[in-house]
Structure 1
Amino acid sequence: MNARGFTSAFTPQLEAYLAFKEKMGFYGASRIWYLKQFDVYCTTHERTVFDRDTVEGWVSQQLTRSGRYRSWMSYIRDVGRWLQAHGQRDAYVLSDRWKAAVVPAHPYLLNTDEIEAFFAAAATLNAVSPRRWQAVAFFTLMHSCGLRTGETRLLRPEHVHLRDRHLDIVASKGNRSRRLPITGEVTEILANCDRVTRARFGPTRGMFFVSAAGNQVTAATVGKMFNRAWDQAGLPRPVGAQQPRPYDLRHHFAYANVERWMAQGKDVMAMLPYLARYMGHADIESSFYYIHTSPEFLHAYAHLTTASQSLLPEVGFDET
């Protein structure tokens, strides 16, 4: 029996492909879920050749369930490319004609008053434990350290070095790791959270942030925790516009640093490699995605952003 329950003729290839992606640092459950749907389709329809009829047949069926949502197509397209790269030259790569039009990302730009109100509410969150005492620490890491949601969820106790004031982000996106220095204030917040969690779950828990059952916090839980704090703070929700989300805290970290450097008279372009490194980007191009929304940055660097549109990356399915 294979690890993920595949049953089609493509079981060995799908297992090998997912193992390859995991070595590259991509562990997303969404990828596995959709490939399992493809596997079921192939078993049901007795498909044994990774050709156009097989791939587009499944895609057409899946579209009847997902409507206009098409990001999942990148998974089956990637499988085709991987098969070609590993000697199966006749493997079909899903045509770009199936791609939906690119919709530019419009993050919710948090202001200072909203951030202060949000964290005040998070500190007194009206929720069952352990969200009640973990919310401030969790979202502080996203706001003050620019961590991704997934990176924060996957932190283990041994990755949080309170005495030395640094964090180890291990095998994150692209299988990259990094060590981040943290301030005394952030250290104190993490220490308070750790103290209460240890008292409740013991010193040998697997994750730094845990659910009520002592397991890893899910992405859905993070969203609920964020929304609870936002609503408890009495903050408004835009009508017919981008809604605030946890990831906007990481976004704010990026452009707030840029605006601070500009206020200090520093060369922002010279500082961008440091920001990219701290945020876990492979290069500074990814950092442009976060900072190009800063009005101050656009005003001061309009000549650069206009001439360098290619630096603004297409937003993919995985977290940047």
Structure 2
Amino acid sequence: MAALDERTEVPPPGLIPNHQGWRPPFIYSPEDIDALMAEAHQSRWRLPAATQETVIGLLAATGMRIGEVIGLNRDDIAWDDAVLTITATKFGKSRNIPLLESTMAALADYAAFRDRLCLEPSSSSFFVSRRGTRLLYPPFRLTFRRLCDLSGVGAGSSIRPRIHDVRHTFAVRTLLKWYREGADVEALLPTLSVYLGHGDPRSAYWYLSAAPELLALAATRLDLNREVLGR
């Protein structure tokens, strides 16, 4: 509110007890995602390079949790229907994610490349390590951090980019698109919530305050609604 109305008073730190820290997400630009994928592509190891590049692309295209991507199995993708099924979700609920044709093509290219280089995988995982095993989150998180440093993504920003922020970026970009198209965002928020696999649809409302541009658009829509109601 302080960004929209200079008369807004911001309470000093410590006035209101808060036991849970909150940090604003780092919102990746399309150029940031391209830079991360390009940096991953340059890895000396061909299979890890393809794995890292495709995982980042899938995160950006779907807003999936990194744990869901790592837990993806080969039979979780319905190639004919262009639908991905997530079974190992944060809240224990399965859900289906429809994919764009370009995303399906990227996954198919990776699968073909993976099968040429990894003839005897040791797991049913769709994404595999150089040894054919399922990816582990801690090493991949460190790899993602290294890719950010090497590509310069987040350099100069007060917010340190995290891998989970790719999911936040997907949600924010989706909401920005809906606002710019004049869509009924209030009605569409539950749809976004289901797509992202939230345990509570109210969780999607958090994204409205995740970026100044999105907050400004939401405020503009609110002002327009007030004008209509006042007529």
Q: TM-score range by the shorter chain?
A: 0.7 to 0.9
Q: Does 1:103 align with 2:21?
A: yes
Aligned pairs for 1:12-23 within 5 A: none
- Map 1:170-181 → 2, pairs under 5 A: 170-181=87-98
Distance in 2, matches of 1:235 and 1:106, equals: 16
Aligned pair 1:167/2:79, yes or no? no
Distance 1:115 1:151, change over 3 A: same
Q: 2:170 aligns with which of 229, 253, 256?
A: 253
Decide whether aligned partners of structure 1 residues 203 and 272 sit closer, same or farther in structure 2, where only a CA change above 3 A counts. Answer: farther
Which letter does structure 2 place at the counterpart of 1:212?
R
- RMSD between superposed Cα atoms in Å: 2.4
Measured after TM superposition, the shift of residue 142 of structure 1 is 1.1
CA distances 1:232-256 after superposition (whole Å, capped 9, x unpaired) = 32335347x3311211111100010
1:302 is displaced (CA, Å) by 4.0
Residue 55 of structure 2 is aligned to residue 151 of structure 1 = no
Contact kept? 2:154, 2:160, Cα under 8 Å: no
- Aligned CA distance change for structure 1 residues 302 and 185 (closer, same or farther; 3 Å): same
Distance 2:18 2:189 in 1: 32
Alignment of 1:274 with 2:191, yes or no, is: yes
CA contact (8 A) 2:179 2:218 kept: no
Question: May I ask how many residue pairs the two structures share in their alignment?
Answer: 205
Match 2:138 to one of 207, 211, 220: 220
The one-letter code of the counterpart of 2:131 is A
Letter in 1 for 2:125: M
Tell me if the contact between 1:160 and 1:166 (Cα under 8 Å) persists in the aligned partners: yes
* Aligned with residue 34 of structure 2, among 82, 96, 116: 116
Give the residue type in structure 1 aligned to 2:98. P
Distance (whole Å) between structure 2 residues aligned to residue 294 and residue 102 of structure 1:
20
Whole-angstrom CA distance in 1 between matches of 2:50 and 2:217: 41
Identify which of 142, 157, 175 aligns with 2:59.
142
- Is structure 2 residue 152 aligned with structure 1 residue 234? yes
Partner of 1:62: none
1:126-141 matched pairs, under 5 angstroms? 126-141=43-58
| Equivalent pair of 1:276/1:287 in contact (CA under 8 Å) | yes
The unaligned stretches of length 5 or more in structure 2 are: 1-16, 223-231
Change (3 A) 1:125 1:100: farther
Q: Structure 1 residues 129 and 112, CA, compared in 2 at 3 Å: closer, same or farther?
A: closer
The 3-state SS of whatever aligns with 1:168 is: strand
Q: CA deviation at 1:160?
A: 1.7
Note the C-alpha offset of 1:156. 0.3
SS of residue paired to 2:182: coil
Counterpart position of 1:286: 203
Matches within 5 A, 1:300-315: 300-302=217-219
The structure number with the bigger radius of gyration is 1
Q: Which residue of 2 aligns with 1:313?
A: none
